Structure 1
Amino acid sequence: MLAVDAGNSKTDVALVAATGDVLAWVRGGGFEPHSQGLGKAIGGLADLVRAAASEAGGGPVADHVTALLANCDLPEERETLTKAITAQGWAPDVTVDNDTFAVLRAGSGVPYGVAVVCGAGMNCVARSPSGRTVRYLALGRRSGDWGGGEFLGEEVLWCAVRDEDGRGPRTDLREAVAAHFDLPDVTAVCIAFHLRELPGERLHELVPLLFEVAGGGDVVARSLVERLGDEVAGMALAALDRLAFDRAPVPVVLGGGVLTASHPLLLNRVEARFRASGADVDLRILTAPPIVGSALHGFDELGLGGRAAEERLRAAFSRSLRPDVRRPVVEAVGKFSKDSCLE
């Protein structure tokens, strides 16, 4: 089986045997068909597939492809991407869906549950034991979303400049933002972004800064972190209500760089919201690479695997070396509880 986990910032491709053995694993850049164009995005994916096939010894690529992709949110997008991947001829059978399902399967340990991702963007999916799913449009603020790296960066800049020009409350974000970009004030930072002297992707750098300032007690910064925690819990709780799980506790997996950084203020807020709701959930922070979830999703689709194959698969990725940093991959699925969240 060919497993693909393609996010906005990186793409993992793996060839996996039905026994759970990992035959090849390669990594490349992000998958962004909207900005790159569909042909270029698929071409980049094809380069990785060729590399994986070569690493596995050549020959036919696979019997089945499971490609869980960023920017695959709408039915029309799933249809377009399915056709494009099928046309590559990598396998006779192709499954394409959103990459948040990879986070769900990698972190839940079972084929159902809820996953919330906060990385470059924000998304949430849920799957019941019977296979019914709930998902969001996940198109940004216009579709009701609040969060994600770029969004938070904009909010930090918004709060900082409003302190500087007198429209907003005092916040230490003002000095922190100017110092981070080595500019005299926040006005200069805004101008630099406007003139593209600072590239827009550098807004993500303000997210760690936000948590640092919030950790120091800044009221404005803390309010942003608490709002994010409310949004994370709110997405998951709404998905739980819409799907009406008949099995408890329900695994809720938190993924994406903003959440897996495990900032205590954020995680405490998320857990407090769940506790107040009375929902019977098992909150987990993802530590396995999402490509594990893509492979397991494929096993589920095909009726293959089983517990022994899943354990072998997780162990294989644990023993493997990440293609980008060449160090061991963390295998375990983390869990946080009331006590372990607190510092």
Structure 2
Amino acid sequence: MAYYMGIDAGGTKTYALVTDEYGNVLGKGHSGNGNHQMGVARAEASIREAAYMALDEAGLRMGDLRHAYLGLAGADREADYRILHPLVQRVGFTSYTINCDTMIGLRAGTNRPYGVALICGTGTNAAGRNPQGKHVQIGGFDYMYGDFGGGGALSVEVFRSVVRAWEGREQPTLLTEKLLRLLGYERVADMYEEFLDLGKHVPVDAARLLFSAAAENDAVAVEILHRQGVELGKSAVAVIRKLGMETETFDVVLAGSLLTRGDRGWIRGPIEQAVRAIAPGASIVTLTTEPVVGAVWAALEVDGLEIDQGIYAKMVNYREFADIKITTRQE
């Protein structure tokens, strides 16, 4: 029997999954932030914890794995790989592949070996592969380098919108009451002063307030979510053009918690409009399984195995991590 591991490491969580060659899930593990760009030691500890938790549940050792495929947030440039290969080897992996987490989301969301993936979780990223095997990535480095959004940035948008409404620079918004409740303040003035005096940061969870406010037709929240969709649509179009896929039939896979667990079309709508204008044969699909499943499938494929209908059917709706709450370790 051959055994494989997939890992999905993002800015707030790390998931690991162990299966056999037939796609039977034998063990799962989870931990916190696995993005080395937010701290190498913390990322290494998270990847190690998730990997060995999954191995322990499966009753296996690291040496029993035929191959591991790691989809890592922050695996963007050669400089990153010079950090990540030693990190992964220190954890104990020997036969392994590293790729950016966007590509495992793509693999999990389409039955074609090519397409485009958009991630909107803690941050944003866009990548794709064309039928000839060419790979392109757009963004993933933050606002200064051209990005907009993701949970980290949208949480700040929520905070600043509340401040602007309080000061009279913006219209009133339902985000005010929701943010005060989330952060435990009675008045915006108290929140404002304490954040300034103590140098506090807005928690990523604040971004989710946009969805509940938008559901109540809050114009400020709707505008922010719409802008997120427009920006992701621009990223998708850039990937499609660079790969020359305008006339191809393929999927654009939407992954990341802000696209799969809260959006009711506020973000997706502008993406669909942008993609349809340049690639009419493309379909927008929302990822329905965990991206870590794409990492497992990629591990099997690297070892020469085919993801047949049996394996696909077993894992396509895998959602065992959906309700896990990750506690972020303070360093």
- Equivalent-residue separation in structure 2 for 1:44 and 1:22 (angstroms): 21
Q: Return the offset for 1:9.
A: 1.9
Bigger mean CA deviation after superposition, 56-65 or 269-278? 269-278
Counting only pairs closer than 5 Å after superposition, residues 117-156 of structure 1 correspond to structure 2 as 117-156=119-158
**Counterpart of 1:99 in structure 2: which amino acid?**
D
Asked whether the 8 Å contact 1:111–1:300 carries over to 2, the reply is no
CA distance change for structure 1 residues 214 and 245 in 2, over 3 Å: closer, same or farther?
Answer: same
Give the AA of the match of 1:75.
E
Question: Which residue matches 1:30?
Answer: 33
Cα pair distance change 1:297/1:35, threshold 3 Å: same
Q: How does 1:148-297 map to 2 (within 5 A)?
A: 148-196=150-198, 200=201, 202=203, 204-245=204-245, 248-260=248-260, 261-277=262-278, 279-297=280-298
Count, aligned residues: 320
Find the aligned partners of 2:80 and 2:239 in 1 and give their Cα distance: 22
Query: In structure 2, do the counterparts of structure 1 residues 15 and 170 end up closer, same or farther at CA, with 3 Å as the change threshold?
Result: closer
CA distance in 2, matches of 1:276, 1:247: 11
* In structure 1, C-alpha distance between the alignment counterparts of 2:322 and 2:208, rounded to whole Å: 25
Q: Give the 3 Å change call, closer, same or farther, for CA 158–127 of structure 1 in structure 2.
A: same
Task: Name the CA distance, whole Å, in 1 between partners of 2:41 and 2:152.
Answer: 25
Larger mean CA deviation between 219-228 and 170-179 belongs to 170-179
- Structure 1 contact 104–115 (Cα < 8 Å) conserved: yes
2:105 maps to which of 84, 103, 118: 103
Q: Structure 1 residues 224 and 242, CA, compared in 2 at 3 Å: closer, same or farther?
A: same
2:46 aligns with 44
Range that drifts further, 75-84 or 119-128 = 75-84
TM-score using structure 1 length: 0.83
The DSSP-based 3-state class of the residue aligned with 1:63 is strand
Quick one: which amino acid aligns to residue 225 of structure 2?
Answer: V
Distance 1:311 1:213, change over 3 A: closer
Gaps of 5+ in 2: 326-331
Q: Distance in 2 between matches of 1:201 and 1:230?
A: 24
Q: Shift of the alpha carbon at 1:247?
A: 6.2
Deviations 1:275-295 (A, max 9, x none): 344532111111101111001
Same amino acid, percent of matched pairs: 27
Is the aligned partner of 1:80 residue 2:83?
Answer: yes
Give deviations 1:27-47, integer Å, cap 9, x for gaps: 2222133344x2443233223
State the Cα deviation string for residues 189-233 of structure 1 (Å, max 9, x = none). 233333448x5352x333232223233333332221211111121
TM-score by length of 2: 0.86
Q: Matches of 1:194 and 1:39 in 2, distance apart?
A: 29
Q: After the TM superposition, which of the residue ranges 218-227 and 290-299 deviates more from structure 2?
A: 218-227
Q: Which moved more, 1:100-109 or 1:303-312?
A: 303-312
Corresponding residue SS for 1:5: strand
- Matched to 1:302, the amino acid is D
Separation in structure 2 between the aligned mates of residue 25 and residue 131 of structure 1, nearest angstrom? 31
Matched residue, 1:333: none
Q: Which residue of 2 aligns with 1:338?
A: none
Structure 1 residues 200 and 54: CA distance shift in structure 2, 3 A: same
Q: One-letter code of the match for 2:59?
A: G
Provide the rounded CA distance (Å) in 1 between the counterparts of 2:279 and 2:70: 35
Q: Which position in structure 2 is the counterpart of 1:329?
A: none
Query: 2:29 and 2:286 mapped to 1: Cα distance?
Result: 24
Higher mean Cα deviation, 155-164 or 43-52?
A: 43-52
Cα RMSD between the aligned structures? 2.7
C-alpha distance 323-24 of structure 1, shift in aligned 2 (>3 A): farther
Question: Are the aligned partners of 1:118 and 1:149 in contact in 2 as well (CA < 8 Å)?
Answer: yes
Q: Look up the SS of the partner of 2:126 in the other structure.
A: strand
Q: Is the 8 A contact 1:19 1:305 kept in 2?
A: no
Structure 2: distance between partners of 1:286 and 1:201: 28
Q: Structure 1 264/130 Cα, relative in aligned 2: closer, same or farther at 3 Å?
A: same
- Counterpart code for 1:255: A
Please tell me the residue identity of whatever aligns with 1:305: E
Output one character per residue of 1:272-325: Cα deviation in whole Å (capped at 9) or x when no partner.
Answer: 33334453211111110111100112233333123245325516x74x854964
CA contact (8 A) 2:9 2:15 kept: yes
TM-fit CA distance, 1:54:
2.8
Letter in 2 for 1:275: R
Contact 1:100/1:117, CA 8 A, preserved across alignment: yes
2:66 is matched with which residue: 63, 68, 71? 63
